[in-house]
């Protein structure tokens, strides 16, 4: 089972205390994404939540009881925490990085919401079955993780449809050509951005969206 938590006002998440607490709670895999100084200059940053998300923690856990313990641990490392149960899809697995080391590049995490007027089956098909190839073909991603939200894991967690992580070259922080892999060709950049924007509009990701630039760490 997989949990994803958004954190606001986080403390030290990369230290031994957080890792030990999460492992003791039952987490067998711990990933931390931080909106830190390394990505502060990112051009793409969108916020629909009342405050920007400052960190994201993804964990693999054996059961719901362990999930409650993981949520409890994280509340001790942040001013505010919201968690969701998710189903993971890996169309483009991120490269392996030694535990505790920063993954190369930029990791954008997007929080997606389904438009009320769009039936769930249509939303899911447009996102998972149609948009996936478009996203990979039009961007310079070297890692792509899709998390379909199954339900809230903490009281009061905002309603979400999906949480997506995309890894880009670090130059994509400020260079649209590096973001879209258009090789400096303005016409190709225009073609790729147009195709991408048309695709995201089919499932409502052209609005009510959070995009959080982060540094990615796999702790365990």
Return the pLDDT at 115.
98
Q: Where are the domains of the chain?
A: 2-218
pLDDT digits (tens, 9 = 90+) for 84-132: 999 999 999 999 999 999 999 999 999 999 999 999 999 999 999 999 9
Q: Which CATH architecture has domain 2-218?
A: 2-Layer Sandwich (3.30)
Return the pLDDT at 176.
98
d(CA 12, CA 66): 22
Return the pLDDT at 95.
95
Instruction: Write a three-state SS string for 122-139.
Output: HHHHHHHHHHHHHHHHHC
Return the pLDDT at 21.
98
Q: Which three-class secondary structure state does DSSP give residue 213?
A: strand
Half-sphere exposure of 170 (CA within 13 A, CB side): 10
The residue ranges of the chain whose pLDDT is under 70 are none
Return the pLDDT at 61.
96
């Amino acid at each position: 089972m997989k949990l994803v938590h958004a954190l606001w006002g986080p403390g030290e998440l990369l230290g031994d205390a957080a890792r030990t607490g999460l492992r003791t709670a039952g987490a067998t895999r711990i990933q931390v994404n931080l909106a830190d100084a390394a990505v502060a200059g990112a051009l793409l940053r969108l916020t629909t939540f009342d405050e920007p998300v400052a960190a994201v923690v993804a964990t693999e856990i054996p059961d719901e009881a362990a999930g409650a313990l993981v949520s409890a641990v994280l509340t001790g490392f942040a001013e505010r925490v919201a968690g969701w149960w998710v189903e993971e899809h890996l169309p483009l697995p991120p490269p392996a990085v030694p535990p505790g080391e920063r993954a190369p590049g930029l990791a954008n995490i997007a929080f997606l919401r389904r438009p009320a007027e769009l039936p769930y089956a249509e939303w899911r098909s447009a996102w998972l079955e149609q948009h996936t190839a478009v996203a990979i073909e039009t961007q310079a991603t070297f890692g792509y993780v899709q998390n379909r939200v199954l339900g809230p894991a903490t009281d009061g967690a905002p309603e979400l449809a999906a949480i997506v992580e995309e890894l880009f070259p670090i130059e994509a922080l400020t260079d649209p050509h590096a973001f879209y892999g258009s090789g400096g060709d303005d016409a190709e950049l225009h073609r790729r951005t147009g195709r991408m924007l048309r695709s995201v509009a089919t499932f409502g990701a052209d609005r009510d969206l959070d995009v959080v630039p982060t540094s990615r760490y796999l702790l365990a």
